[in-house]
Structure 1
Amino acid sequence: MTDSTAARNRPDDRDEIARLLPAPDDRDLTREQHLRHKELLMQHIDHDRAASTAAAEPARRTPRRRPVLIASAAALALAGALTAGIAMTGTDGRTHGGTTTAATDTRPAAALLHRISAAAARHDTLTVRDDQFVYTREKIRGADLTSGKAVVGPLEDEETWLAQEPGPLHRLGLSRVDGETLPLNAELGDTEGTPAGFGRPTYRWLGSLPTDPGRLLDYLYAKTPEAERRQRDQAVFEQIGSLLGGMMPPRTAAALYRAAAEIPGVRRTLEARDVIGRQGLGIVRDDTRYGVRTEWVFDPKDYSFLGARTFLIRDTSYGEAGTLLSGTAELAHAVVDKAGLRPADADGTRTA
């Protein structure tokens, strides 16, 4: 029996790989169409159909608030020596100038996160009405894994307008990527609409979270969605990261950073850069199961959040250590009265 035949005879493995693959950008497709796209991805994994067959029915591009990529366990768990730390100096996520040894002492990370928390707490609390939209402009870059190799796409300019209404919504806002504007629709399966929450963090919902760091951390561990074989500490760290880069009440931001300081394995790095090359102070955590590092980058002067990157820290079939999987660079934030309306200073630097 060939390897490919054996793989096809293990439906549980196929289901597991399908679950871990990045979902196609098709939130507003029917369930049947969604499953069809999932099957096309499995054809790439099995290599039992021509690539042109899969390309014949591409998923319609749906805008996303943030490039989120969860790589296949089968690929990321392949052999390769774990790199303890990577000196990153390029904007493409590749290593330059060799490797460095990462410190295991987490106290510097806690000290830095406490300073970031104190800086966030000094910001003014905004008044955001339910009929308004939170505007974000950022640079984004991500990798496509469907070919079995990480193919890093071009740097794109993304603007989003997120509705602040608290109730479940079918239309969450707008996204404009390199000039193309498309609606943000309810999450797949939310037939009654997507409510405010982790998937749609409105300013009001963020303000309802516990502001005591210990209580907030307990809440995050209890409410962060479970993922089989996913390290729980890593899942919570990434859940916090998914909330960064937007506008939130200062007390919530301060509590999130202090909560992150209590997660085991969180470290500080002095060699952090966002996806457009801005150097800053880094907070990182490694998912050693899959060989992936998540890195948050902060301005060394005012401790504001610059962006985030996710990249490989060991060689896998998807790519070499240092290969970028996803990255963002924050440029501007504002509150506007209408989706599609740009604030006057959208072409400037960060506004929040």
Structure 2
Amino acid sequence: MNDGDREEIARLLPTLADQDLPREQHHRHKELLMHRIDQDIAIARETGRGTGRERVTRTRSGRRLLRPALLAPATALTLAAALAAGVALNGGAREHSGATAHGVATDMRPAAALLGRISDAAGDRTVPRVRDDQFVYTREKAQGADLTSGKAVLDPLRERETWIAQEPGPLHRLGLVREDGETLPVNAELGDTDGTPAGLGRPTYGWFSALPTDPDKLLTYLYAHTPFAEGRGRDQAVFEQIGSLLGGMMPPATAAALYRAAAKIPGVTAAPQARDAIGRRGLGIARDDTRYGVRTEWVFDKEDYSFLGSRSYLIKDRSYGRAGTLLSSEAELEIAVVDKAGQRP
């Protein structure tokens, strides 16, 4: 990130008067991009350009559905605004790049074999069809690191429930999130004045059903439509985009194609020591973000290859933590279909 980028991010950081606003209720793919901006701010702090007031919270690593966040100061909202500006500025630079331009890397063979088994299991799994008037319910436990102090400090492990509307939209009210005894609405993505439609940022069962089930065509679609920030590797962006969808309620053929598409991304490896937020050990798929020194892992059950969760951690010493420092982790506990927001299965 150059000096101009750091200055622009610093300019967008909030004033102290903004502390009473709630944290953004953003889609998972935008949280992933926020992570990149957050880490750039940490880099800026290392070089003496940080403001000293920013809340630099590492969001959870990749998963499937909309990711309504917890309540927190408005700094995260302002970072989201910085993100939106960055995506707008760089939107014209997106390239249509398909699987043919991203062959399987030489270190991928164990990961490709594992993803093949995971894909086969996903394709054989029975999944209920979801009507447009229903909601997908998820329950998970997750935690992330707060870098406000200049050091990575893990937040407590929290349980969260979400209810995500399946209407194609655009919608202004996307569902509900319940955490720490509070139930809050999930509103349209920032900037979507007409509402947020179904898509990568709000994946519904109907939207999943319309995706190509040929892995090469699906990967071409993902490279063409995944948002990315300047200086961020496209392969990493697509890997994390797929991660944001994993474990979601989707047709089996779509799930199978997603895993085979992931196997075609260079740099994807097996991670035999992977575990989720509640300590369940499983079969892991990982990719290293070499620029930021962060590894992202997906964790799957050893018996039935179902998605368990994910985690991310430092693989290089940084000013805010040593190699091995956990930045985020999550564990999927339950996913179901319900008829009303707020209803438990």
Q: TM-score interval w.r.t. the shorter chain? A: 0.7 to 0.9
| 2:160 counterpart letter in structure 1 | E
Aligned counterpart, 2:40: 73
> Under a length normalisation based on structure 2, what TM-score does the superposition of the two structures give?
0.76
| 1:141-156 pair list within 5 angstroms | 141-156=143-158
Distance 1:239 1:342, change over 3 A: same
Does the aligned pair in 2 maintain the 1:274–1:328 contact within 8 Å?
A: yes
Q: Work out which of the residue numbers 8, 14, 29 in structure 2 matches 1:15.
A: 8
Q: Work out which of the residue numbers 188, 200, 203 in structure 1 matches 2:202.
A: 200
**Structure 2 CA distance for aligned equivalents of residues 336 and 64 of structure 1:** 22
Query: Are 1:225 and 2:218 an aligned pair?
Result: no
**Structure 2 CA distance for aligned equivalents of residues 269 and 296 of structure 1:** 9
Gaps of 5+ in 2: 48-60, 62-104
Q: Work out which of the residue numbers 6, 19, 22 in structure 2 matches 1:60.
A: 22
**Deviation (angstroms), 1:59:** 3.3
**Structure 2 CA distance for aligned equivalents of residues 39 and 136 of structure 1:** 32
Aligned counterpart, 1:159: 161
**Deviation (angstroms), 1:179:** 2.1
**Structure 1 CA distance for aligned equivalents of residues 313 and 118 of structure 2:** 23
Does the aligned pair in 1 maintain the 2:137–2:162 contact within 8 Å?
A: yes
The SS at the match of 1:120 is: helix
| 1:152-301 pair list within 5 angstroms | 152-301=154-303
**Deviation (angstroms), 1:104:** 7.1
**Structure 2 CA distance for aligned equivalents of residues 229 and 268 of structure 1:** 26
Aligned counterpart, 2:330: 328
Identify the structure with the greater helix proportion: 2
Does the aligned pair in 2 maintain the 1:104–1:267 contact within 8 Å?
A: no
The SS at the match of 2:170 is: coil
The SS at the match of 2:175 is: strand
**Structure 1 CA distance for aligned equivalents of residues 312 and 211 of structure 2:** 26
**Deviation (angstroms), 1:148:** 2.8
The SS at the match of 1:75 is: helix
RMSD: 2.3
Q: Which moved more, 1:267-276 or 1:68-77?
A: 68-77
The SS at the match of 1:272 is: coil
| Residues 40-68 of structure 1, C-alpha deviations (whole Å, 9 max, x = no match) | 4xxxxxxxxxxxxx387243245567675
For these two proteins, the number of residue pairs brought into alignment is 281
**Structure 2 CA distance for aligned equivalents of residues 253 and 202 of structure 1:** 13
Distance 1:11 1:207, change over 3 A: same
The SS at the match of 1:214 is: helix
Aligned counterpart, 2:14: 39
**Deviation (angstroms), 1:76:** 5.1
**Structure 2 CA distance for aligned equivalents of residues 337 and 158 of structure 1:** 19
**Deviation (angstroms), 1:294:** 0.6
Does the aligned pair in 1 maintain the 2:173–2:185 contact within 8 Å?
A: yes
| Residues 159-197 of structure 1, C-alpha deviations (whole Å, 9 max, x = no match) | 000000001001000001122111001111000001101
Aligned counterpart, 1:96: none
Does the aligned pair in 2 maintain the 1:63–1:177 contact within 8 Å?
A: no
Query: Are 1:105 and 2:107 an aligned pair?
Result: yes
Distance 1:12 1:119, change over 3 A: closer
| 2:8 counterpart letter in structure 1 | D
The SS at the match of 2:115 is: helix
Distance 1:145 1:279, change over 3 A: same
**Structure 2 CA distance for aligned equivalents of residues 296 and 245 of structure 1:** 10
Gaps of 5+ in 1: 1-9, 19-34, 41-53, 80-92, 94-102, 344-352
The SS at the match of 2:229 is: coil
Aligned counterpart, 1:85: none
| 1:337 counterpart letter in structure 2 | D
Does the aligned pair in 2 maintain the 1:173–1:184 contact within 8 Å?
A: yes
**Deviation (angstroms), 1:123:** 1.3
**Structure 2 CA distance for aligned equivalents of residues 104 and 315 of structure 1:** 27
Distance 1:328 1:244, change over 3 A: same
**Structure 1 CA distance for aligned equivalents of residues 18 and 218 of structure 2:** 46
Does the aligned pair in 1 maintain the 2:175–2:187 contact within 8 Å?
A: yes
Q: Percent identity?
A: 68
**Structure 2 CA distance for aligned equivalents of residues 153 and 74 of structure 1:** 19
